[in-house]
Amino acid sequence: MSTQASHPALLIPGPIEFDDAVLQSMSHFSESHVGPTFVNTFGETLGLLRPLFQTTNPASQPFVISGSGTLGWDLVAANLTEAGEDALVLSTGYFGDSFADCLATYGAKPTKLEGPVGGRPQVPEIEKALSEKKYKIVTVTHVDTSTGVVSDLKSIVQAVRKVSPETLVIVDGVCSVACEEIAFDEWDLDGVITAPQKAIGCPAGLSISMFSGRAMEVFKNRKTPPASYFASFKNWTPIMQNYEAKKPSYFATPSPQLVHALNTALKQILARPLSERFQKHKEVSDKVKKAVADLGLKIVATKPEDQSSAMTAIYLPDGVQIANVLPKLASRGVIFAGGLHKEIATKYIRFGHMGVSVTDPARTDIDNALEALKTSLAECGYTKA
Ligand SMILES: *Cc1c(COP(=O)(O)O)cnc(C)c1O
Protein backbone atom coordinates (compact mmCIF):
# COMPACT_ATOMS: atom_id res chain seq x y z
CA MET A 1 0.00 0.00 0.00
CA SER A 2 0.92 3.63 0.30
CA THR A 3 4.21 4.73 1.82
CA GLN A 4 2.61 8.00 2.92
CA ALA A 5 2.20 8.87 6.59
CA SER A 6 -1.13 7.55 7.81
CA HIS A 7 -3.86 10.12 7.22
CA PRO A 8 -7.60 10.37 6.69
CA ALA A 9 -8.77 9.79 3.10
CA LEU A 10 -9.24 13.15 1.42
CA LEU A 11 -12.52 12.70 -0.44
CA ILE A 12 -13.39 16.31 -1.22
CA PRO A 13 -13.80 17.58 -4.79
CA GLY A 14 -10.12 18.46 -4.93
CA PRO A 15 -7.42 18.24 -3.83
CA ILE A 16 -7.84 14.47 -3.98
CA GLU A 17 -5.62 11.63 -2.72
CA PHE A 18 -2.30 11.45 -4.57
CA ASP A 19 -0.36 8.42 -5.75
CA ASP A 20 3.02 7.77 -4.06
CA ALA A 21 4.97 8.02 -7.32
CA VAL A 22 3.38 11.38 -8.13
CA LEU A 23 4.27 12.78 -4.71
CA GLN A 24 7.78 11.36 -4.86
CA SER A 25 8.34 13.06 -8.21
CA MET A 26 8.21 16.34 -6.34
CA SER A 27 11.32 15.53 -4.33
CA HIS A 28 13.36 15.83 -7.52
CA PHE A 29 16.73 17.57 -7.09
CA SER A 30 16.86 21.15 -8.20
CA GLU A 31 17.29 21.77 -11.92
CA SER A 32 17.66 24.86 -14.02
CA HIS A 33 14.33 25.74 -15.61
CA VAL A 34 16.21 26.27 -18.89
CA GLY A 35 18.57 23.28 -18.60
CA PRO A 36 18.24 20.39 -21.06
CA THR A 37 16.86 17.78 -18.61
CA PHE A 38 14.01 19.96 -17.39
CA VAL A 39 13.29 21.36 -20.85
CA ASN A 40 12.88 17.76 -21.98
CA THR A 41 10.49 16.92 -19.12
CA PHE A 42 8.41 20.07 -19.61
CA GLY A 43 8.25 19.56 -23.38
CA GLU A 44 7.16 15.96 -22.94
CA THR A 45 4.53 17.01 -20.36
CA LEU A 46 3.01 19.55 -22.77
CA GLY A 47 2.90 16.84 -25.44
CA LEU A 48 1.11 14.45 -23.04
CA LEU A 49 -1.70 16.98 -22.64
CA ARG A 50 -2.67 16.43 -26.29
CA PRO A 51 -3.85 12.82 -25.79
CA LEU A 52 -5.33 13.75 -22.38
CA PHE A 53 -7.60 16.31 -24.07
CA GLN A 54 -8.01 14.01 -27.10
CA THR A 55 -6.61 16.41 -29.66
CA THR A 56 -4.30 15.54 -32.54
CA ASN A 57 -4.72 18.86 -34.34
CA PRO A 58 -1.27 20.49 -34.42
CA ALA A 59 -2.95 23.93 -34.16
CA SER A 60 -4.20 23.08 -30.64
CA GLN A 61 -2.07 24.93 -28.08
CA PRO A 62 -1.38 23.54 -24.60
CA PHE A 63 -0.37 25.77 -21.66
CA VAL A 64 1.01 24.83 -18.24
CA ILE A 65 1.49 27.93 -16.08
CA SER A 66 2.16 28.31 -12.35
CA GLY A 67 -1.02 29.34 -10.60
CA SER A 68 -4.25 27.54 -9.76
CA GLY A 69 -7.32 26.54 -11.73
CA THR A 70 -8.65 30.07 -11.36
CA LEU A 71 -5.83 31.39 -13.55
CA GLY A 72 -7.54 29.58 -16.44
CA TRP A 73 -10.48 32.02 -16.19
CA ASP A 74 -8.04 34.93 -16.37
CA LEU A 75 -6.39 33.39 -19.46
CA VAL A 76 -9.77 33.18 -21.18
CA ALA A 77 -10.98 36.62 -20.11
CA ALA A 78 -7.71 38.46 -20.78
CA ASN A 79 -6.92 36.86 -24.14
CA LEU A 80 -10.19 35.83 -25.80
CA THR A 81 -12.46 38.74 -24.88
CA GLU A 82 -12.04 42.48 -25.34
CA ALA A 83 -13.69 45.20 -23.30
CA GLY A 84 -17.38 45.54 -24.15
CA GLU A 85 -17.71 42.15 -25.86
CA ASP A 86 -20.52 39.83 -24.87
CA ALA A 87 -19.97 36.47 -23.20
CA LEU A 88 -22.70 33.88 -22.59
CA VAL A 89 -21.99 32.08 -19.31
CA LEU A 90 -23.80 28.78 -18.77
CA SER A 91 -23.79 28.52 -15.01
CA THR A 92 -24.64 25.49 -12.93
CA GLY A 93 -23.40 26.90 -9.63
CA TYR A 94 -20.69 28.77 -7.77
CA PHE A 95 -17.89 28.19 -10.30
CA GLY A 96 -19.96 29.35 -13.28
CA ASP A 97 -20.88 32.50 -11.36
CA SER A 98 -17.22 33.13 -10.53
CA PHE A 99 -16.19 32.66 -14.19
CA ALA A 100 -18.72 35.42 -15.04
CA ASP A 101 -17.15 37.67 -12.35
CA CYS A 102 -13.71 37.07 -13.84
CA LEU A 103 -14.91 37.95 -17.38
CA ALA A 104 -16.48 41.17 -16.07
CA THR A 105 -13.20 42.06 -14.31
CA TYR A 106 -11.57 42.34 -17.75
CA GLY A 107 -14.42 44.42 -19.18
CA ALA A 108 -16.35 41.70 -21.01
CA LYS A 109 -20.13 41.71 -20.57
CA PRO A 110 -21.30 38.35 -19.21
CA THR A 111 -24.91 37.24 -19.61
CA LYS A 112 -25.69 34.32 -17.34
CA LEU A 113 -28.00 31.44 -18.23
CA GLU A 114 -28.70 29.31 -15.19
CA GLY A 115 -30.72 26.20 -14.57
CA PRO A 116 -32.61 25.60 -11.34
CA VAL A 117 -30.35 24.73 -8.36
CA GLY A 118 -29.19 21.20 -9.13
CA GLY A 119 -30.10 21.49 -12.83
CA ARG A 120 -28.66 23.13 -15.93
CA PRO A 121 -29.72 25.43 -18.76
CA GLN A 122 -31.32 23.52 -21.64
CA VAL A 123 -30.31 23.58 -25.33
CA PRO A 124 -33.43 25.47 -26.60
CA GLU A 125 -32.74 28.31 -24.10
CA ILE A 126 -29.08 28.36 -25.17
CA GLU A 127 -30.05 28.54 -28.85
CA LYS A 128 -32.53 31.33 -28.11
CA ALA A 129 -29.91 33.37 -26.23
CA LEU A 130 -27.39 32.88 -29.05
CA SER A 131 -29.89 34.03 -31.68
CA GLU A 132 -30.67 37.23 -29.78
CA LYS A 133 -27.17 38.65 -29.52
CA LYS A 134 -23.70 38.14 -31.00
CA TYR A 135 -21.55 36.47 -28.34
CA LYS A 136 -17.76 36.38 -28.58
CA ILE A 137 -17.58 33.35 -26.29
CA VAL A 138 -19.78 30.84 -24.52
CA THR A 139 -18.39 29.46 -21.28
CA VAL A 140 -19.59 26.28 -19.66
CA THR A 141 -18.57 24.62 -16.41
CA HIS A 142 -18.27 20.94 -17.28
CA VAL A 143 -18.74 19.80 -13.67
CA ASP A 144 -19.70 22.53 -11.24
CA THR A 145 -18.04 21.48 -8.01
CA SER A 146 -20.66 23.31 -5.94
CA THR A 147 -23.53 21.15 -7.23
CA GLY A 148 -22.04 18.08 -8.92
CA VAL A 149 -24.01 18.95 -12.06
CA VAL A 150 -22.38 17.82 -15.32
CA SER A 151 -23.06 19.72 -18.55
CA ASP A 152 -23.58 18.09 -21.94
CA LEU A 153 -20.70 19.66 -23.85
CA LYS A 154 -21.37 17.90 -27.13
CA SER A 155 -24.92 19.19 -27.50
CA ILE A 156 -23.88 22.69 -26.35
CA VAL A 157 -21.20 22.90 -29.07
CA GLN A 158 -23.70 21.60 -31.65
CA ALA A 159 -26.13 24.38 -30.66
CA VAL A 160 -23.39 27.03 -30.87
CA ARG A 161 -22.16 25.85 -34.27
CA LYS A 162 -25.74 25.83 -35.57
CA VAL A 163 -26.77 29.30 -34.37
CA SER A 164 -23.51 31.24 -34.00
CA PRO A 165 -20.65 29.27 -35.59
CA GLU A 166 -17.90 31.78 -34.82
CA THR A 167 -18.59 31.98 -31.11
CA LEU A 168 -15.79 30.33 -29.12
CA VAL A 169 -16.84 27.51 -26.78
CA ILE A 170 -14.75 27.50 -23.61
CA VAL A 171 -15.00 24.78 -20.96
CA ASP A 172 -14.10 25.00 -17.28
CA GLY A 173 -12.91 21.42 -16.91
CA VAL A 174 -11.18 21.87 -13.55
CA CYS A 175 -13.32 19.13 -11.97
CA SER A 176 -13.83 16.98 -15.07
CA VAL A 177 -10.60 16.55 -17.04
CA ALA A 178 -9.39 12.96 -16.46
CA CYS A 179 -12.68 11.66 -15.05
CA GLU A 180 -15.37 12.77 -17.53
CA GLU A 181 -14.96 12.29 -21.28
CA ILE A 182 -13.70 15.36 -23.17
CA ALA A 183 -13.07 14.91 -26.91
CA PHE A 184 -11.48 18.25 -27.81
CA ASP A 185 -11.25 17.73 -31.59
CA GLU A 186 -14.32 15.58 -32.12
CA TRP A 187 -16.59 17.94 -30.16
CA ASP A 188 -14.95 21.02 -31.74
CA LEU A 189 -14.08 22.76 -28.48
CA ASP A 190 -12.10 26.04 -28.43
CA GLY A 191 -10.67 25.90 -24.95
CA VAL A 192 -10.58 23.71 -21.87
CA ILE A 193 -8.99 24.98 -18.69
CA THR A 194 -8.16 22.73 -15.75
CA ALA A 195 -5.96 22.22 -12.67
CA PRO A 196 -3.90 19.27 -11.45
CA GLN A 197 -5.38 18.68 -7.99
CA LYS A 198 -8.74 17.28 -9.06
CA ALA A 199 -9.14 14.21 -11.29
CA ILE A 200 -5.59 14.47 -12.68
CA GLY A 201 -4.33 13.64 -9.18
CA CYS A 202 -1.31 15.91 -8.83
CA PRO A 203 -0.67 18.62 -6.21
CA ALA A 204 -2.20 22.07 -6.78
CA GLY A 205 -0.21 24.98 -8.15
CA LEU A 206 -0.67 24.82 -11.91
CA SER A 207 -3.08 26.16 -14.50
CA ILE A 208 -3.37 23.60 -17.32
CA SER A 209 -5.20 24.41 -20.54
CA MET A 210 -5.70 23.61 -24.21
CA PHE A 211 -6.89 26.14 -26.81
CA SER A 212 -7.95 25.50 -30.41
CA GLY A 213 -6.31 26.95 -33.50
CA ARG A 214 -9.51 29.01 -33.88
CA ALA A 215 -9.09 30.49 -30.39
CA MET A 216 -5.42 31.28 -31.05
CA GLU A 217 -6.47 33.08 -34.29
CA VAL A 218 -9.05 35.10 -32.35
CA PHE A 219 -6.25 36.09 -29.97
CA LYS A 220 -3.95 37.11 -32.85
CA ASN A 221 -6.70 39.28 -34.35
CA ARG A 222 -7.36 41.30 -31.17
CA LYS A 223 -7.76 45.01 -31.61
CA THR A 224 -6.48 45.79 -28.11
CA PRO A 225 -3.60 44.19 -26.18
CA PRO A 226 -4.54 41.73 -23.39
CA ALA A 227 -5.19 43.54 -20.09
CA SER A 228 -2.90 41.20 -18.14
CA TYR A 229 0.86 40.73 -18.12
CA PHE A 230 1.24 37.37 -16.37
CA ALA A 231 -1.81 35.83 -18.08
CA SER A 232 -0.99 37.08 -21.59
CA PHE A 233 -0.93 34.54 -24.45
CA LYS A 234 1.52 36.89 -26.13
CA ASN A 235 4.03 36.22 -23.36
CA TRP A 236 3.32 32.50 -22.89
CA THR A 237 2.64 31.07 -26.36
CA PRO A 238 6.26 31.23 -27.64
CA ILE A 239 7.47 29.77 -24.32
CA MET A 240 5.11 26.79 -24.56
CA GLN A 241 5.95 26.23 -28.22
CA ASN A 242 9.68 26.36 -27.50
CA TYR A 243 9.44 23.94 -24.56
CA GLU A 244 7.36 21.49 -26.60
CA ALA A 245 10.06 21.70 -29.31
CA LYS A 246 12.59 20.95 -26.48
CA LYS A 247 14.14 24.42 -26.73
CA PRO A 248 14.93 26.48 -23.62
CA SER A 249 12.86 29.60 -23.21
CA TYR A 250 12.04 32.04 -20.43
CA PHE A 251 9.17 34.31 -19.50
CA ALA A 252 8.55 33.50 -15.80
CA THR A 253 10.13 30.64 -13.84
CA PRO A 254 8.05 27.41 -13.87
CA SER A 255 8.12 24.97 -10.91
CA PRO A 256 10.22 22.03 -12.10
CA GLN A 257 9.06 19.91 -9.14
CA LEU A 258 5.37 20.38 -9.94
CA VAL A 259 5.98 19.74 -13.62
CA HIS A 260 7.73 16.46 -12.71
CA ALA A 261 4.72 15.46 -10.61
CA LEU A 262 2.35 16.34 -13.47
CA ASN A 263 4.51 14.37 -15.90
CA THR A 264 4.24 11.27 -13.66
CA ALA A 265 0.48 11.70 -13.17
CA LEU A 266 -0.13 12.08 -16.93
CA LYS A 267 1.99 9.02 -17.76
CA GLN A 268 0.01 6.97 -15.23
CA ILE A 269 -3.31 8.18 -16.66
CA LEU A 270 -2.28 7.62 -20.29
CA ALA A 271 -0.82 4.16 -19.64
CA ARG A 272 -4.39 2.81 -19.97
CA PRO A 273 -7.19 3.73 -22.39
CA LEU A 274 -8.98 6.90 -21.25
CA SER A 275 -12.34 5.23 -21.96
CA GLU A 276 -11.54 2.66 -19.25
CA ARG A 277 -10.78 5.46 -16.76
CA PHE A 278 -14.03 7.29 -17.54
CA GLN A 279 -15.99 4.03 -17.24
CA LYS A 280 -14.41 3.24 -13.85
CA HIS A 281 -15.31 6.70 -12.54
CA LYS A 282 -18.88 6.22 -13.81
CA GLU A 283 -19.21 2.81 -12.13
CA VAL A 284 -17.94 4.07 -8.78
CA SER A 285 -20.11 7.17 -9.04
CA ASP A 286 -23.19 5.04 -9.79
CA LYS A 287 -22.39 2.91 -6.76
CA VAL A 288 -22.07 6.00 -4.52
CA LYS A 289 -25.32 7.46 -5.85
CA LYS A 290 -27.16 4.20 -5.29
CA ALA A 291 -25.82 3.91 -1.73
CA VAL A 292 -26.87 7.51 -1.03
CA ALA A 293 -30.39 6.82 -2.35
CA ASP A 294 -30.54 3.59 -0.32
CA LEU A 295 -29.80 5.67 2.78
CA GLY A 296 -32.90 7.72 1.93
CA LEU A 297 -30.89 10.84 1.03
CA LYS A 298 -31.32 13.22 -1.91
CA ILE A 299 -28.67 14.29 -4.40
CA VAL A 300 -28.33 18.00 -5.31
CA ALA A 301 -28.09 17.19 -9.06
CA THR A 302 -31.70 16.08 -9.40
CA LYS A 303 -31.80 14.24 -12.72
CA PRO A 304 -29.57 11.19 -13.32
CA GLU A 305 -28.35 12.65 -16.65
CA ASP A 306 -27.17 15.81 -14.82
CA GLN A 307 -25.09 13.89 -12.25
CA SER A 308 -21.31 13.96 -12.67
CA SER A 309 -19.02 10.98 -12.11
CA ALA A 310 -16.52 13.22 -10.28
CA MET A 311 -18.44 13.84 -7.10
CA THR A 312 -21.77 13.62 -5.32
CA ALA A 313 -23.39 16.56 -3.54
CA ILE A 314 -25.67 15.06 -0.88
CA TYR A 315 -28.50 16.85 0.98
CA LEU A 316 -28.35 16.17 4.70
CA PRO A 317 -31.50 14.84 6.37
CA ASP A 318 -33.61 17.39 8.28
CA GLY A 319 -32.10 18.10 11.68
CA VAL A 320 -28.56 16.96 10.79
CA GLN A 321 -26.01 19.79 10.64
CA ILE A 322 -22.80 19.91 8.59
CA ALA A 323 -20.90 20.83 11.78
CA ASN A 324 -22.08 17.58 13.40
CA VAL A 325 -21.59 15.14 10.59
CA LEU A 326 -18.18 16.22 9.17
CA PRO A 327 -16.26 15.63 12.46
CA LYS A 328 -17.95 12.22 12.84
CA LEU A 329 -16.79 11.31 9.33
CA ALA A 330 -13.29 12.61 10.12
CA SER A 331 -13.12 10.42 13.24
CA ARG A 332 -13.64 7.48 10.86
CA GLY A 333 -10.85 8.62 8.59
CA VAL A 334 -12.97 10.29 5.93
CA ILE A 335 -12.84 13.93 4.87
CA PHE A 336 -15.84 15.32 2.96
CA ALA A 337 -16.47 18.99 2.15
CA GLY A 338 -19.36 21.20 3.24
CA GLY A 339 -21.73 23.00 0.88
CA LEU A 340 -20.70 25.84 -1.44
CA HIS A 341 -23.74 26.91 -3.46
CA LYS A 342 -25.04 30.13 -1.92
CA GLU A 343 -28.71 29.14 -1.90
CA ILE A 344 -28.24 25.76 -0.20
CA ALA A 345 -24.75 25.92 1.38
CA THR A 346 -25.80 24.84 4.90
CA LYS A 347 -27.91 21.94 3.69
CA TYR A 348 -25.53 19.57 1.95
CA ILE A 349 -22.12 17.93 1.91
CA ARG A 350 -19.82 17.02 -0.99
CA PHE A 351 -18.12 13.67 -1.60
CA GLY A 352 -15.38 13.71 -4.25
CA HIS A 353 -14.67 10.37 -5.93
CA MET A 354 -11.81 10.86 -8.36
CA GLY A 355 -8.35 9.51 -9.10
CA VAL A 356 -6.55 6.81 -7.11
CA SER A 357 -9.42 6.44 -4.63
CA VAL A 358 -11.43 5.19 -7.62
CA THR A 359 -8.84 3.57 -9.89
CA ASP A 360 -6.45 1.85 -7.44
CA PRO A 361 -7.93 -1.57 -6.61
CA ALA A 362 -5.78 -1.76 -3.45
CA ARG A 363 -7.63 1.19 -1.91
CA THR A 364 -10.86 0.93 0.04
CA ASP A 365 -11.50 4.70 0.37
CA ILE A 366 -14.93 4.67 -1.28
CA ASP A 367 -16.38 1.70 0.62
CA ASN A 368 -15.01 3.08 3.89
CA ALA A 369 -16.58 6.45 3.14
CA LEU A 370 -20.00 4.96 2.41
CA GLU A 371 -19.86 2.93 5.63
CA ALA A 372 -18.68 6.00 7.59
CA LEU A 373 -21.50 8.10 6.14
CA LYS A 374 -24.07 5.55 7.25
CA THR A 375 -22.76 5.23 10.80
CA SER A 376 -22.08 8.96 11.21
CA LEU A 377 -25.65 9.85 10.20
CA ALA A 378 -27.00 7.22 12.59
CA GLU A 379 -24.92 8.79 15.36
CA CYS A 380 -26.47 12.14 14.45
CA GLY A 381 -29.86 10.56 15.18
CA TYR A 382 -30.89 9.89 11.59
CA THR A 383 -33.01 6.89 10.74
CA LYS A 384 -34.31 6.26 7.26
CA ALA A 385 -38.02 7.13 6.97
C1 LIG B 1 -11.71 23.92 -8.13
C2 LIG B 1 -12.39 24.58 -9.28
C3 LIG B 1 -11.96 25.81 -9.79
C4 LIG B 1 -10.89 26.63 -9.16
O5 LIG B 1 -9.66 25.99 -9.14
P6 LIG B 1 -8.53 26.49 -8.10
O7 LIG B 1 -7.40 25.56 -8.36
O8 LIG B 1 -9.15 26.38 -6.75
O9 LIG B 1 -8.22 27.91 -8.43
C10 LIG B 1 -12.59 26.31 -10.92
N11 LIG B 1 -13.59 25.65 -11.50
C12 LIG B 1 -14.05 24.47 -11.03
C13 LIG B 1 -15.16 23.78 -11.73
C14 LIG B 1 -13.47 23.91 -9.90
O15 LIG B 1 -13.91 22.73 -9.44
How do residues 51-95 score in pLDDT, each as one tens digit?
999 999 999 999 999 999 999 999 999 999 999 999 999 999 999
Domain final position from 218, 252, 270: 270
**What parts of the chain have a pLDDT lower than 50?**
none
Same domain, 99 and 45: yes
In this structure, is residue 385 part of a structural domain? no
Number of residues written out for the chain: 385
Co-location of 148 and 44 in the same domain: yes
* Residue 384 belongs to some domain of the structure: no
Task: Looking at the structure, tell me whether residues 281 and 349 fall in a common domain.
Answer: yes
326 and 233 part of one domain: no
Domain-terminating residue out of 254, 270, 286: 270
Question: Which of ligand 1's atoms lies nearest the C-alpha of 71?
Answer: 9
Q: Are both 291 and 243 inside the same structural domain?
A: no
DSSP string, 57-81: -TT-EEEEEES-THHHHHHHHHHH-
Ligand 1 atom with minimal separation from the 173 CA? 13
Does the residue 137 lie in any domain? yes
Q: Is 327 inside a domain boundary?
A: yes
Give the distance, in angstroms, between the CA of residue 364 and the centroid of all CA atoms in the same chain: 24
Domain count, the chain: 2
283 and 234 in one domain? no
Residues 113 and 44 in one domain: yes
1 occurs within a structural domain: no
| 361 within some domain | yes
Domain-ending residue, one of 230, 245, 270:
270
Closest CA to 114 of 133, 138, 97, 136: 97
User: Do 176 and 33 share a domain, yes or no?
Assistant: yes
Question: From ligand 1's centre to the CA of 339, what distance in Å?
Answer: 15
Ligand 1 geometric centre to CA of 248 (Å): 30
Q: What is the DSSP letter of 380?
A: T
CATH of residue 193 = 3.40.640.10
Distance 67 CA to ligand 1 centre (A): 11
pLDDT for residue 357: 98
What pLDDT is recorded for position 31?
A: 97
In this structure, are 251 and 361 located in the same domain? no
Return d(Cα 89, Cα 222) in angstroms, integer: 21
| Host domain of residue 37 | 20-270
- Domain presence at residue 4: no
Atom of ligand 1 nearest to the CA of 141: 13
pLDDT on residue 170: 98
Binding-site annotation: residue ranges for substrate: 350
Pocket of ligand 1 (CB under 6 A): 14, 68-70, 95, 141, 144-145, 172, 174-175, 195, 204
Q: Are residues 307 and 169 in the same domain?
A: no
With a CB cutoff of 8 Å and minimum separation 6, the contacts of 341 are 93, 94, 117, 146, 147, 300, 348
Q: How far apart are CA 279 and CA 297, in angstroms?
A: 25
CA dist., res. 40 & res. 45, Å (int) = 9
CB 314 within 8 A of CB 300: yes
| Residue 2 falls inside a structural domain | no
Concatenated DSSP letters of 222-280: -SS--S-STT-HHHHHHHHHHHHTT----SS---HHHHHHHHHHHHHHHTS-HHHHHHH
Q: Check whether residue 100 and residue 237 sit in a common domain.
A: yes
Contact indicator for 315, 300 with CB cutoff of 8 Å: yes
236 and 347 belong to one structural domain: no
Closest CA to 61 of 182, 219, 298: 219
CATH number of residue 339's parent domain: 3.90.1150.10
Q: How far is the CA of 375 from the centre of ligand 1 (A)?
A: 31
HSE of 382, CA atoms in CB hemisphere, 13 A: 20
pTM, whole model, 2 decimals? 0.98
Pocket test for ligand 1, best of 75, 174, 350 (most atoms within 8 A of CB): 174
